[in-house]
A = this chain, B = another copy of it.
Amino acid sequence: MSQRYRFSYADIHHTLGLAAQEVIESGIEFDYILAIGGGGYIPARILRTYLNRPILAVALARYQDNGPALEIPLKLQWTEGFAQAIQGKRLLVVDEVDDQRTTLAWTLAELHKEHPQSMSVLVLHDKDKPKNAQYPKYVDRVFVGQRIDDVWVEYPWDALDIYEHEHTATGLVHVDDPYGSH
């Protein structure tokens, strides 16, 4: 038996609504929500409901053609479509989870080269574990939806059987896992 998180859509949406409230209370007026895809698309779209800012997206791939994880992620889609628009603007960069922070820190450094006025980060989940990188100094604020233990997370959008997922999504769940804890 091992532990996992299994979050329902409603719980995730609710968590993001609370995080959005913190963003509003911070007083920072963001110009754009910047989603880091694939994980950031759904959190970004939910946040837009509360923050009412336009969404821009970049997309990274950490794997290619079934190979091993890439050291430096592949820029599937980058800022070419909106580089001018974000110069001098305040960005709220959104991702699904802060795991080891390697990719997130690298992405922030790459975005910094585009000369936004400021960047803050909002992650749906922050895993309580050692991080490979600190947030760079030019990151104004870090908003966290929920701090969670370092166990595998089953997100609803990855479910093949969504009704089964939603009926059993109670946060921390115990599962039979032949591979042990992830």
Tell me the minimal C-beta distance from A46 to chain B in angstroms: 5
Interchain CB contact under 8 A, B42 and A160: no
Interchain CB contact under 8 A, B17 and A160: yes
Interchain CB contact under 8 A, B37 and A57: yes
Docked CA distance A59–B35 (Å) = 12
Interface assignment of A48: CB less than 8 Å from any CB of chain B? yes
Interface size on A, residues (CB 8 A): 40
Query: Looking across the interface, which residue of chain B has its beta carbon closest to that of A50?
Result: B160
Interface assignment of A56: CB less than 8 Å from any CB of chain B? yes
* Contact string against B for A residues 141-168, beta-carbon threshold 8 Å, 1 for contact and 0 otherwise: 0000000000000001111101100100
Interface of chain A: mostly helix, strand, loop or mixed:
helix
Query: Looking across the interface, which residue of chain B has its beta carbon closest to that of A47?
Result: B157
Interchain CB contact under 8 A, A56 and B54: no
Docked CA distance A47–B174 (Å) = 27
The 9 closest A-B pairs by CB, nearest first: A9-B9, A13-B162, A80-B80, A80-B81, A41-B41, A77-B81, A57-B57, A41-B45, A81-B81
Question: A interface vs B, CB < 8 Å?
Answer: 8-10, 13-14, 17, 35, 37-38, 41-42, 44-46, 48-50, 54-59, 61, 76-82, 85, 156-160, 162-163, 166
